[in-house]
Each structure stands twice: as structure tokens, then as C-alpha cells.
Structure 1
Amino acid sequence: MEYESKESVHNKALKIKGKTQGELAKELNLKVNSNKNLMGDIFEAWFGKEKDNKSEPDLGVSELKATPFKKLKRKTNGNLYSSKERLVLNIIDYNKLDKESFDNSHFLHKNRVLEIAFYEYLENISPDNFEFKYIIMYQMQKSPKDFEIIKKDWEIIQDFVHKGKAEELSESATNYLAACTKGANKNSKRQQPHSNQPAKQRAFSFKNKFMTYLLNEKVIGNKHDDAVIKNSIELKNNSLEEVIEKRFKNYVGLTDIQIAKKLDVNLITTKNKAPKNFHNMIVRAILGINKNNGNLNNIEEFEKSSIIPKTIQFDSKGINKESMSLNYFKFCNLVNEYWDDEDEMAVADLNIYLSESKFLFIVFQEDENGNNILKGIKFYTFPKELINGPIKEVWEDTKNKVKTGVKLYYDGNHVHNNFIKQKNNMIIHVRPHASTSSYVNSSSSSRLPTPAQWTNKPADFDDNFMTIQSFWINNTFIRKVVKNLISKKTDA
């Protein structure tokens, strides 16, 4: 069947809504196997399209994509639904990319109109019951701000190729559009221009966080975030990072009180203490968004681009006491992950998170008189050698200990474990994520795949449950990252 317009494609796609994988496989006479992307095959078969590697959009007028989402157990940044993975688009031909401009690029030609079918992923449920829930026609050019950021991301990826450094590409180098690894295995390589060194095969993709935002804003209608960029014109000659840096520039060197007065941030205090999340409120005011909200996560561009904002407090001696918590993990999921497996359904969450994320550290430091000064900001992405070096070591150590049985010791007051600690100086460490400890089945605990090896176990504790844990970035490592922002006379 031929489709003469993107609207006709969309109307056909809407008719798949509510149908399950099992129903469709039978209806379309498709063979069910272990193919994890069967829903993608089904969506194409729904249109009578056979699988191919053509450079044209699937149906001439639209590119077809099926992607999973999941319902969260609790709201995160105001959202109850999350995309399960990035949306992989087309394979990157480094040689062709080198000669293109964005406006005549293969990427834009193929992905200008995306017909996206969201299906719900359910844990411990047969894929036969996966159901197509939401259908959208996404045209990136109809969202001018997003389009400008996507264009600059494409140009950043192209610049790596221009410089003969395609092998150095990483997903954290860009904001919405990424160059993700894509191949049969980690040895899948492609030749690149301007260098004799083969580079990993990669594909353009929309980041997981971008897809989550798209799902909640365009599909579910849960639009709640504030936007830093009010007009796409601001992005014509500046990257998102440059826009943010310019916003902070005029306030570096001022105290938090001075900034608050300039931007009319609420200074009402209780017991002579600043309001809770005072520095977050200041940061939001500097960025030109709702300053009465103390949450730095509910910011549109940060949500879409995997920018992780964090205010860092230093004392007059140049010491920051706080380590930074990352996402918590479930023990049973951790033992089934692989660090760098090309099957992205199994790759470690920690690897994906650090590879995709860009951290925005906003640094405050007290002077000798007790004034708290904004010292500056720094964008930071973790280099691959650290992710695949000491960070991977901590992840592997944690996985192995959970798999063989974590060792727990009760001293009469507290439970101690044998996970890597902050004092081991491994960039990251493991510690509790929950506010209360729990060694029974509760909302503060997670099931262990192998019973714990206890010493002095209390009678009412369960071998099979342990307090929820997460990985944390060491405060000492953060200190090294932002050391150039701290006054030289107080450097630690």
C-alpha cells in the first residue's frame, strides 16, 4: 500500500492502538522469536512494509518507529511515565556526514517526520501482552527550540568527524541528539575520513531523557517544566551551554544575598537560616524561571538533554562535604546487567547514565567572613577512560558481591556491608539511598538475588532483603573537577 501523505500514515497508525503483540503477530502472520524488537517489526508489518536498509524514510513520507515506555512506581520530576530507552534512528556514515550540511543531511531527510508508536513495557509479563498505547506524528521542525538544539548536536557530531576523532564520540557530548553505539557487537567498526583509525559504528538517536519528555509533554500532556530558552532565536548563534553560561556571567563573584536582592528572591528566614533550597531558588532566578520553586530538576532543557544540575557548597578552606547521589539500583536487576554489551536492553544502567549525562556544577563558597559567594559554573562529562576504568571496577565489585551474597555485620547499633566505601577513593562508592534502613520486605528495601552472609544477624531481619542502595560520586572527586573555581588561597 502506498501512502501519499504523512496524515494518511498517521491515520493508519492510530488503528494499531490498543492491540497487543500476541494479537498482532497472529493477525499479521509473523513468527514470534526472541527478537527484542518484535514490536518494531510488527509496526512496520502493520503498514505492509518489509524490513530493509534503505536510506529513504520507511514510507516515503514518514519514518516508522516503535519504542517502549514504562510506568514508574513513584513520580520522578513530576512524571509517572518514562521512556525505557533511547530512540535509535539511522546509522551514521562518517564519510557522507563529513561532506553534508545539516539542511541537506541524510539524517534530516530520513527523520523529518517520525511516526512513533509507544508501547508499554511490563516487567515479568510475557511480551505477548505488550500493548501499543500512544501514537504520535513527531515533526522536529515544528518545535523551533528543539530543532535548533538538535541541529547544533548534529554539527557537534559532524565536527568530531571533521577532526578525524569519530572514535572519541560519546553520547554526553551532545544534548538531545546523540551518536549511540550500534552494531552486532563492540567490535563493529567503520572507516572515518581524516584518520586511519576505525571508529565504533554509531547511529543517530534521541536520548532517553528526550524521549521521556516527548512522551510526557506531547503524548500524556503532562507539561509542567519551566524553560530556560523562551525564544529559539537565542539559540541561532549560541549553544545551550553558552546560553546558560551567559546567564550566570553577571552574577559570579556576588554573594547569595546580593544575588537574591538583585533578582527579588524570597529572603524570609526561619531562626536566622536561609530558606530551604535557597541556592536552588537563586539558580532558577538566574536562569530566568520560576524562582519560588526550589527544584532544579523540573527544567525543560535539563530534562530533555540529561543535564544534571547540582549546587556544590564549599567552606572557606575549600572543602565540600557532600557526595552526590546517583539513581538507586535494584539488586536483582544489577546482577543481570552487562557493562558494555551491545544489547542495550542489558547494558548497565550506571554506564548508560554516566555516558549520556552532562553534569552542571554550580559552585558556592564561603569566605572568611561567612559570606557565601557564587564562584562559577562548570559543565562536566565523565571521560570514557574513567567510566570504563575505576567506575566499572566499582560496578563489577558491587555486582559480584550481590551475586555471591553481600556480607552484612551488625555491631549492635548499625549494619555494615562489604561494598566499596568513599574512603576507598574509587571516584564512586556505594551507600544507602533510602532515608531509613530496612532488612525486611519494605518500601525502603530491595530483594537480594542471593541471601546475605550475616554476622550477628538480628532475629527479625530477613536474609533476602537489604536497604536500597545507590552509587554516589565522591565529594573529593567533585572537588577536583571544579578546583579552578575555588579561590586559590583556599584550595584543598
Structure 2
Amino acid sequence: MNKAQEAEGKSFKEIDITNRLSNKHSKGGLGQVIEESLFGYKINSDAKPDFEHLNVELKVTPFKRNKNGKLAAKERLVLNIINYMEEINYTFETSSFWKKNQKLLLMFYEWLPHVNREDLKVFKSLLFTFPESDLEIIKHDWEIITQKIRDGKAHELSEGDTNYLGACSKGANKHSLRAQPNSTTLAMQRAFSLKQSYMTALVRKHLKKDNLVSLTTSNELKKKSLEDILISRFSPYKGLSAKQISENLSVAYKPSGKSFIPLLTSSLLGIKGTKLENIEEFSKANIQFKTVRLEPNGKPEQSMSFKNIDFQLWTSEEWENSYIRKTFYETKFLFVVFEFKEKKKDNPNREPYFKGIKLWNMPVTTIENEIKQLWEEVNRLIATGVQIEYKPYGEKLREYNNFPKKNFNGVTHIRPKGQNGKDKVKLPNGQIITKQCYWLNDTYIASLLKDLN
């Protein structure tokens, strides 16, 4: 640790005594500079930890400052390659993941745009062991990953399947395929990884000293999964109206206020007043919160919206690295579901009643089919020219376009999401259009929530 801390505040160019970074023919990254020049050991791809006699694995990893000033991990932390044929024969304690990564020497450096990598500086070193609560969740994640491999579904692995420990794609390209047990389908090569959201939580906790609030204990997690714990916290309130729940929990009843349901949710979880993004388990697992209000027919009152589309980014990315693909591969969604028992026309002051929760991530087949179809169609339309026309709507003109509508593929569509009709954005082809957003269809969300009945 003394050796690691000597590097803090130094640039990689100052540390690089082997001139690895200046040699154009020398492959490898900043981690190899630390390995060779700081610690003086040869680069290897050994299955054992880097400092074998200490059982410590070295990882050099970047963080960044977001536009709002908050610190975040720049990327996930990739660990060791998963051997599909062998991993299923291990227990967690004998697994390749645990043998190599029980104890991590994390050396954080700050990534800065437009700065040469040799000029980036080591910021802080941390000898990290997994907290007991985290370890229980990681054990469960490992079981989910290995069970999917055992079932011959390694090709369907997604980071959204798990909470903290992911199985990320790891290969030169999409053709880096491997055989898997119990299936003839080749699967992308993957590695165990700590999710970007998990690493961001570590950055917030250890570099910025942010106070994250935990809603579980290690003893709870030894008996139940995180999902089961969430269900048990919410279940006593099933069938109660939002007003009844707020009275029970001493939360001011403001059904029209944007912060009301999030405040109600944190109270239901037993951590009243805590912002959902400051709940440790949500932050580490990249669990995004979505409120769903169902009509009496079981269909949401509206489709589910996401972020406005950055069309410049959308058209500049390859599908494999696209923002929308990454979002659905890496995110879990917590649907907090309320239901109306009357139609709005019959009772304008109707009350929503709590129906239940669902922790969900989008299946790989849906991402690689319907979501990819949307991505491709938007790119095609921008390349050929989006049809934009204005038609009377009451006393005003309303803008219409030929982006995919709700009947496109039954899962997703594009429609406006601006403050008003004057809230415009420029497309890469120069056309000006009202800001647009991608949505999940109300009928698709309804199909996901059928099992709450």
C-alpha cells in the first residue's frame, strides 16, 4: 500500500520507466504501466491473483466528473474471463471469480477528456474487500450467471440479469464466440465484472465520502435475495390507496407532486426521506425506479418514457455500443405499480391503489430484436430524410413525422417529449424537429405486469 500510495498525484508518464506508453509498437494500457514500472512484475494472464502470496488482485480503473460535478466510474471493472465449460463445476468458494478477486488493490485515476493518457494522474489507492452484505448479493449473482450457463443459455446472458456482479462481453469483436455446455449455440466470450453502477457507488463512497443508505443487512441477505426483501417490504401495503399508505407512514399526501411517489417509496422501504439514488443497493445494482399507474382494464394510463434522444449520438454509434442497447442490457427496473378501480370519466378524483412491485430487466431476445429494429429504423429514416408535416390540431398546427409509432413492433416506439411544440432539436441531416423520446408501449408494460394479478 505504501508503494501504491507513492503513485498518487503522479502522471502515468512519470511512473512509466519502461517507456511503454511512448512505444507505438507496445500494446496495453495504463494498468500495465503500474504492473511493470511501479510494482516490477511481468505482464501475464494468469488465473491467480497478481500478488499471489497476498491473494491480492491489482486493478487500475478510471473515474470521471459528470457535468453536474458528481463523480462516477467511467466504466465497469472487468475481472476474469468465464470458462463456460469449467465454471459450472465449481461452488462459489472454489470459483475462478472468487479465487482471483477476493481482495482488490484498486488504483483510481481521473479520466479527463482531451488529455493524453500518459498525462492522466493516479488519484487514490484502495485495498478493497467486499463488505459482507455485498458479498451475499454477489454470491447470488454468481449463482444466476452459472445457472444460465448450465441451462445452455450463455448466449442470453445480460448484465441486467444480476445486481452487482455482471457477465460482460469480452472479446475483440462480436465474432469472439465460445462453445457452451448443454447447447450447440455459440456464445459471446464473457468476463466476470463489477458493474459500472457498483464502481460508481465505490467512487462516491471512498473518493467523495458520500453517505449511501443501506436498506438491508447481511443477515437478511443470507436468508433472502434482494428481490425477496423488496417484495416483503412492500407487501403489507398491497390493496391500500396511496392516501391510506401516506397516512400510515406519516407522509404528506400530494398525489400530483412529482416527489410524492418517490418519497412514499423510500418510506415503504423503511428509509424515509432518503433519495432513491442514495439507496446503496439501488445505486450499486443500477436499479431504476418507475411508477406505473394501471387503468381498471390492467393497461397503464400511458406508455413508459425514457430520456430524450440525442440523434447525433444515435446515428454515430454502432449497434453493439449504442446507448439504447447499453441501457437495457445494464439496467434493472423497479416497477412500483398502482391501480385505479374506476375510470377517470366516472370519477375525476379517483384514488390509485397499491398493487405490488416487479423487479425486471429486459430479455436479451427483446433487446436484440425489437429494440434493435427501432434503432435501425430511426437510422434509416434519418439517412433518407424524415417526413415532417404540420396538420391542424384545434386552433394550432401540430407536427407529425414518420418515426416508428405504437404499431411498429408491439414493444417500442418514438414520439415527442418536449416542453412544448417550440422545443426543437436538429437532426444530423439538418432537419429541425420537436424533441423526441423512445417509449415502451403501454400494452407491452401491461403484459409484463400480468403476474401481479
Task: Compute the TM-score of the two structures, normalised by the length of structure 1.
Answer: 0.80
Aligned to 2:371: 391
Q: Deviations along 1:286-341, whole A, 9 cap, x unmatched?
A: 21111x45x5433221111122221101233434233333344533333332112x
Aligned to 1:476: 443
CA contact (8 A) 1:407 1:453 kept: no
The one-letter amino acid of 1:361's match is: F
Residues 1:40 and 2:31 are matched in the alignment = yes
Which consecutive residues of structure 2, in runs of 5 or more, have no partner in the other structure?
A: none
Shift of 1:57: 0.8
CA spacing shift, 1:83–1:403, aligned 2, 3 Å: farther
State the secondary structure of the residue aligned to 1:373. Answer: strand
Q: Which of the residues 9, 31, 39 maps onto 1:18?
A: 9
Cα distance in 2 for residues equivalent to 1:23 and 1:111: 28
CA contact (8 A) 1:433 1:468 kept: yes
Aligned to 1:359: 333
Q: Which of the residues 198, 206, 212 maps onto 1:210?
A: 198
Please give the residue correspondences for 1:362-373 in structure 2 after superposition, counting only pairs within 5 Å: 362-368=336-342, 370-373=350-353
Shift of 1:413: 5.0
The one-letter amino acid of 1:427's match is: V
CA contact (8 A) 2:417 2:437 kept: yes
State the secondary structure of the residue aligned to 1:57. Answer: coil
Cα distance in 2 for residues equivalent to 1:453 and 1:36: 43
Please give the residue correspondences for 1:321-332 in structure 2 after superposition, counting only pairs within 5 Å: 321-332=301-312
Residues 1:286 and 2:268 are matched in the alignment = yes
Cα distance in 2 for residues equivalent to 1:119 and 1:417: 45
State the secondary structure of the residue aligned to 2:35. Answer: helix
CA spacing shift, 1:363–1:389, aligned 2, 3 Å: same
Residues 1:73 and 2:71 are matched in the alignment = no
CA spacing shift, 1:95–1:409, aligned 2, 3 Å: same
Shift of 1:148: 1.0
Aligned to 1:191: 179
Q: Deviations along 1:37-66, whole A, 9 cap, x unmatched?
A: 622222322322332111111122321212
The one-letter amino acid of 1:109's match is: K
Please give the residue correspondences for 1:233-272 in structure 2 after superposition, counting only pairs within 5 Å: 233-267=219-253
Shift of 1:26: 6.8
CA contact (8 A) 1:324 1:473 kept: yes
CA contact (8 A) 2:199 2:284 kept: yes
CA contact (8 A) 2:410 2:443 kept: no
Cα distance in 1 for residues equivalent to 2:436 and 2:13: 37
Q: Deviations along 1:57-93, whole A, 9 cap, x unmatched?
A: 1122321212222221126xxxx12222211100112
The one-letter amino acid of 1:318's match is: G
State the secondary structure of the residue aligned to 2:316. Answer: coil
Q: What fraction of aligned residue pairs are identical, expressed as a percent? A: 37
State the secondary structure of the residue aligned to 1:332. Answer: helix
The one-letter amino acid of 1:99's match is: N
CA spacing shift, 1:380–1:33, aligned 2, 3 Å: farther
Aligned to 2:87: 97
Please give the residue correspondences for 1:384-463 in structure 2 after superposition, counting only pairs within 5 Å: 384-402=364-382, 416-422=400-406, 424-425=408-409, 427-431=411-415, 435=419, 450-453=428-431
Cα distance in 1 for residues equivalent to 2:210 and 2:80: 29
CA spacing shift, 1:168–1:50, aligned 2, 3 Å: same
CA spacing shift, 1:128–1:335, aligned 2, 3 Å: farther
Aligned to 1:107: 97
CA contact (8 A) 1:70 1:81 kept: yes
State the secondary structure of the residue aligned to 2:68. Answer: strand
CA contact (8 A) 2:305 2:440 kept: yes
CA contact (8 A) 1:136 1:219 kept: no
Shift of 1:178: 0.9
State the superposition RMSD in angstroms: 3.0
Q: Which of the residues 88, 92, 110 maps onto 1:120?
A: 110
Aligned to 1:381: 361
Shift of 1:236: 0.3
Name whichever of 379-388 and 20-29 sits farther off: 20-29
Cα distance in 2 for residues equivalent to 1:81 and 1:183: 28
Shift of 1:258: 2.4
The one-letter amino acid of 2:440's match is: I
The one-letter amino acid of 2:9's match is: G
State the secondary structure of the residue aligned to 2:374. Answer: helix
Shift of 1:376: 1.5
Task: Compute the TM-score of the two structures, normalised by the length of structure 2.
Answer: 0.86
Aligned to 2:57: 63
Aligned to 2:136: 148
CA contact (8 A) 2:103 2:129 kept: yes
CA spacing shift, 1:40–1:398, aligned 2, 3 Å: farther
> Alignment length, in residue pairs?
440
State the secondary structure of the residue aligned to 1:74. Answer: coil
Shift of 1:251: 1.7
Which consecutive residues of structure 1, in runs of 5 or more, have no partner in the other structure?
A: 1-9, 341-346, 455-465, 487-492
Shift of 1:405: 6.1
Aligned to 1:457: none
Q: Which of the residues 304, 308, 312 maps onto 2:292?
A: 312
Residues 1:228 and 2:215 are matched in the alignment = yes
Shift of 1:123: 3.4
Shift of 1:133: 2.6
Cα distance in 2 for residues equivalent to 1:37 and 1:334: 29
Aligned to 2:318: 338
Aligned to 2:120: 130
CA contact (8 A) 1:176 1:207 kept: yes
CA spacing shift, 1:280–1:87, aligned 2, 3 Å: same
Shift of 1:416: 4.8
CA spacing shift, 1:414–1:126, aligned 2, 3 Å: farther
Shift of 1:432: 5.0
Cα distance in 1 for residues equivalent to 2:340 and 2:312: 43
CA contact (8 A) 2:13 2:21 kept: no
CA spacing shift, 1:410–1:47, aligned 2, 3 Å: farther
CA spacing shift, 1:37–1:122, aligned 2, 3 Å: farther
